[in-house]
Structure 1
Amino acid sequence: MRAIQVSEYVKGPLDLKTTEVPTPTPSPDKYLIEIHSAGTNFFDILQIQGKYQHQPPLPWIGGAEFAGTIAALPTSSASSSLKYKVGDRVFGATQGAYATHVLAPEHTLLPVPSGWSFEDAAGLFVTAPTSYGGLVHRAGVKEGDWVLVHAAAGGVGLSAVQIAKAKGATVIATAGTARKREIAKEFGADYVVDYTDKAWPEIVKKLCKENRSGNGAAGVDIVYDPVGMIEPSLKCVAWNARLLVIGFAAGSIEKVALNRVLLKNVSIVGLHWGQYAKFETGTVGDVWKGIFDLVAQGKFRGTAFKDESFFGLESVPKALQALGGRETWGKVVVNVTDEKAKSKL
């Protein structure tokens, strides 16, 4: 099979190369999956540079998120006891997604939603549960809430916009370019704000004052922050607001003035979705049920950024470079086995 194997750490995505490696053989507890599409993540860029918190022993194959078809079943189980059969369309996450094939255990796989493309499904495993888990299970979003979503045109941002709207909230979305703000509105945001404008907290407060009534007019009820903007967001929140710490895409970890937390009676809560499989397995099932319900109701759609140049494994370096340079919106996905690439498999 072909794969992007890391035998030594590189300076950046464009240093990655595609190579031939042995196709994995079916294992006792893992499915062999033919990958059709692979999702990209910021942590992939850190990992290939040796800067991520989880570094596999060299050499290893890059990538984590994927969607594809079951090519072979685990060898130690009777087919009747397995959830999937050969040919089933699945998506999931495991080390080694930048390849034509990967081995994955059953608990890391989910069925591709009916009517969804592999491209959209490849970007679902991390973004959707991060946003649903944060907004629904940690912040308790409900009808009538006002939700401020930062970096709203990113993968988790567009998921958050859709989930908040599906739960009856009003959404203010921030993004740094006109095109990204337009994308946020296309996915349901009620208002958009340019967060490169230093006065953005005042703009948010003004939107609330002009369009809300009662105590809520002072600001938003929920802040969804994958960037690292909790401190300035405290300037535009209402009484009893809930601020969700999702990540630090801006590159630095904030120090927050706790007097503001006290004075506005707010809660700051974190979400480490990756650890739910270890500490709250029951919640994982609840979150995915909630997501699939929204999909079935037509209230949640894929967020894949489908650039026609991201075809074949050879395009992974370019896709990661675009992701790191913030040149894209949504979830950047590479079509691994597009017809243009199949002749090379």
Structure 2
Amino acid sequence: MGTTALLIGGTGPTGPAIARGLEARGFELTLLHRGTHEVPEVAGYEHLHGDVFSEEGIRAAAGNRSFDVVVSAYGRLRTVAEVFRGRTGHFLSVGGQPVYRGFFDPTRYAPPGLPVPIREAADLATEGEDGKSYRVARTEELLFAAQPEATHLRYPFVYGPRQLAPREWCVVRRIRDRRPFIILPDGGLALTPFGYVDNIAHAVMCAVDRPEAAKGQIFNVADSEALSIRQVVELVSAELEYEWEILSLPAELAVPARPLMMSEVSRHRVADVSKLRNLLGYRDVVPPREAVRRTARWLVENPPEAGGYEEFALQDPFDYRAEDLLADWWRAAIADPPDLGYVETPGYGKSYAGPGTRNVRADTRI
């Protein structure tokens, strides 16, 4: 019998790519999941079905089997780690970047805002702060108590095929509905950690390939290039050959853009993936700009159901009447700005030489 691997999950956005990667490396692969959602990409592997959120369900499905590698990408991680204590040579687990202090609430820092970039050693959420973030941090503690040599991967928001909260659908559906504009907060300049499905799966494989460097370590995972909201919108628009107005509003007024902001304010959340690159040799297998274009095309060919789960998860009502009223009000508000009477119009500083540079009087002082 060859080397064996157990993938817990396997039917979500990154699951099929992880499964293919393990098979390509010669593992005899088994999937453990609830069995309520099957996808054809993983139909050829052995499947175990059980409740992966309970100890009883995991033990009943897996029995006394051991595996050379266990990849826990779904279920109750702290329980999975305990059940497979002493039953695997390499335990790899998936968590999330909300573990960091201030990920959801930037006012945890003074002045508000996360460190940029966020490194693995950054402050974690503590008890009494955001409940979800603290639970993620507590799970990591319990994980390493049960699996001291685990490799833990802090996932970003994931995009690509089969995503159940597809951020790009907020753009693609409006294009399909022939909207003349899209509202973005603060020019759409905010950065948020995202990872394309194939890139995320490749990061997992990098840890599988270099176990001695990966064991006992935590890694941020994300695309190496962080794209702004506006860049995503422009890439989708170009891929679908659609021209429209990008209407910038202050974040507190850009209510229709909340599903794209994924936050109550416009701010940066940037994951530092240098540890993943330096220790495990990670590189994006699909450049993020190409990945966004692929995702847009996939959504055109596989559109979510109107009013279905994906739109429920995004919390985007696509209320075009309200968007039109907001746009009309904003345009009227800025149509006639006051004459501020500058004696001398402010410049960008003498070291700036880009677009908008104004002529200044000669100054012989250097």
Report the TM-score when normalising by structure 2. Answer: 0.32
Larger Rg: 2
Higher strand content, 1 or 2:
1
Identify which of structures 1 and 2 has the higher relative contact order when contacts are C-alpha pairs closer than 8 Å and 6+ apart.
1
Report the TM-score when normalising by structure 1. Answer: 0.34
